[in-house]
Amino acid sequence: MADHDGASILIADYADEHGGYFVTRSHAFVELRLPNERLGRFRLFIAEIADEITRFDPSSRDLRTQLIRVDAGITSRTEALEKILTYLTQADIGATLAFEQELRALNGELDSLKGQERRILHDIEYSSVSVSLSSSTSEIPAHLPSSFDWINRVDLYRFISEASW
C-alpha cells in the first residue's frame, strides 16, 4: 500500500478492533500489542493490505524465570510482613517505630513486585508487533529543475567524463 499514513491508521484500527492497542504510530512505523490468539489472523490481514511483505520474524522469549523470581519475591516479602505484624503486638515504642519503618519498606517492595508481575503477565498475554512501512516507488521526481537556469543546462555526464582527476 503506497499510502503510509492510511496504512498506519488501518493497522492501528485493526489492533483496536481485535482486543489490542497501538503503542506508536507514525508515517513509517507502527508498534502495537495484540492478544496472542489474534497474531495469526493479523499476519493474514497484513498480507491482504500489503503489496509485499519483506520480512516476517516471529520470535518469543521465555518469561517463566522472571515470573518465578517475582512470585518468590512476593511470597518472601508477604511472609516477612506477617512476621513483623505478629511481633508488633508485643513490641515497645522503640521497636514499634523500627517495625513501622520496616513495614513501609516491605510494602514498597511488594507494590513494586506486584507491578512487575502485572507487566510480565501482560507480556505473556499480548504479543508485541512492529510493522515498518516502506514503498519502492520514488517520492522524488526524476527531474527536479533548479531555479538557477545555468545549472539546468549543465551536462554532468560529459563534465565527469572529460574531467582529468
Burial of 165 (0-12, 13-18, 19+ CB in 10 A): exposed
pLDDT tens figures, 52-88: 777 777 778 899 999 999 999 999 999 999 998 888 8
Residue 145 CB neighbour total at 10 angstroms: 9
For the stretch 113-143, pLDDT in tens is: 999 999 999 999 999 898 888 766 655 556 6
pTM: 0.66
Confidence label for 5 from pLDDT (cuts 50, 70 and 90) = confident
- Cα 29 from chain centre: 11
Inter-residue contact 25 to 12 (CB < 8 Å): yes
DSSP 38: G
Q: In whole angstroms, what is the distance from residue 80 CA to residue 91 CA?
A: 16
- Joined grid coordinates for residue 16: 483496536
